[in-house]
Amino acid sequence: MNNNNDDISHCVRLAMEQYFRDLDGEMPAAIYDMVLARVEKPLLEVVLNHTQGNQTRAAELLGLNRNTLRKKMKSYDLI
């Protein structure tokens, strides 16, 4: 499992380094919110797919309250 965590960290690191290179002198803003929005939706989609749409199980896997999961799903138009 540790190797998977390292892989994810490595991917994020590479993506952020590329992001800063692509700015081409522009000033970045709200990087934290941007990254969370780009990562959170596919994370929810994959976990929900893995649980075959079972929101209770998905919330458990994510370590979230089911209501929190539903709120996030609504914000990303997943329900």
Specify the number of domains making up the chain. Answer: 1
Span 30-54, pLDDT tens digits: 999 999 989 999 999 999 999 999 9
- DSSP letters, the chain, are -HHHHHHHHHHHHHHHHHHHHHTTTPPP--HHHHHHHHHHHHHHHHHHHHTTT-HHHHHHHHT--HHHHHHHHHHTT--
* pLDDT band, residue 2 (cuts 50/70/90): low
Range of the domain at 21: 2-75
Q: What is the mean pLDDT of residues 7-11?
A: 92
Q: What is the mean pLDDT of residues 21-29?
A: 89
Q: What is the mean pLDDT of residues 60-74?
A: 98
CATH number, position 71:
1.10.10.60
